[in-house]
Amino acid sequence: METLEDLEQRVRNCTDCPLHGSRTNAVPGEGPADAEILFIGEGPGFHEDRQGRPFVGPAGNFLEELLQSIGMSRDQVYIANMVKCRPPNNRDPAPSEISACSKYLDRQIELINPLLIVTLGRFSMARFLPGQSISRARGRLRTVSGRHIFPIMHPAAGLRRQEMRAAIEQDFAKAPGLLDVLRMQADPAAAPEVREEPAEYRANPAPPSLWDMISTENPHPPAATDMHPAERLEEPAEPTIDEPPPGQQRLF
């Protein structure tokens, strides 16, 4: 059977779409085959194309900082992209390029079988939640075809705007709690008998349940017009950035 390394090698040799013609190196993705979290970005940028590795430029530095903020490091997670070769001048990947490349991401998801998929930005979110607006969907766990999807904004957007940086940090901080819940859900026998209340809840008389964060369906399908065609790297008009969906509690 094909291993993850075999697949990565197949990507390095791929010529299935025009992006192969302008790449220096394909960027298959990297991380352990048994990673609990799979991050999916958009596509390689300048530095990634040079090095053949995902998220090694400024956005990658921010991603590493975010991982550190939740006590993790990049060698514990798998980092992939929608397209594995750099679109010239960092233009948006074309739908035909995304669809030519999607077989590799599909296989990565199958082989890694992650507990949690974190989509970075609107392109990877659209793979699971087509037509939705990232400013509304971000920071909420969703289940799509049995996969647990947690959409957040792209780290590159956080480098450009402080309020997006804060939103990304806020969403990222939910990951450890989500992982705890998903681990327990996957293996209830492994749940500790006594779980110590997180310090931040102790002063709070009614701690919110993490289970509330899990929704199996989209309770608020956004209007098809939500996404502005000119939207690039998620720049929602204020005040949608922190607005909880109507009728929903924002938990953290």
CB of 48 to ligand URA, least distance (A): 4
How many degrees, rounded to 5, is the angle at CA 175 between CA 26 and CA 213?
A: 125
Part of the chain binding ligand URA (CB under 6 A), chosen from 18-26, 52-60, 199-207, 208-216:
52-60
Q: Which long-range contacts (CB under 8 A, 24 or more apart) does 103-108 make?
A: 104/7, 104/10, 104/11, 104/14, 104/28, 105/40, 105/80, 105/81, 107/2, 107/7, 108/4, 108/7, 108/29, 108/38, 108/78, 108/80
Omega prior to 236 cis, within 30 of 0 = no
30 interacts with ligand URA by CB under 6 A: no
Task: Using CB under 6 A, list all residues that contact ligand SF4.
Answer: 11, 14-17, 19-20, 26, 83-85, 97, 100-101
- The CB-of-27 to ligand URA minimum distance in angstroms stands at 6
Residue from 31, 43, 158, 236 that binds ligand URA (CB under 6 A)?
Answer: 43
Print the binding letters for residues 123-162 with ligand URA: x by CB under 6 A, - otherwise: ---------------------------------x------
> Contacting ligand URA (CB under 6 A), which of 8, 48, 97, 171?
48
Whether 81 contacts 49, CB under 8 Å: no
Return phi, psi of residue 196, to 5°.
-75, 135
Interacting residue ranges for ligand URA, rule: CB under 6 A: 41-45, 48, 54-55, 59, 81, 156
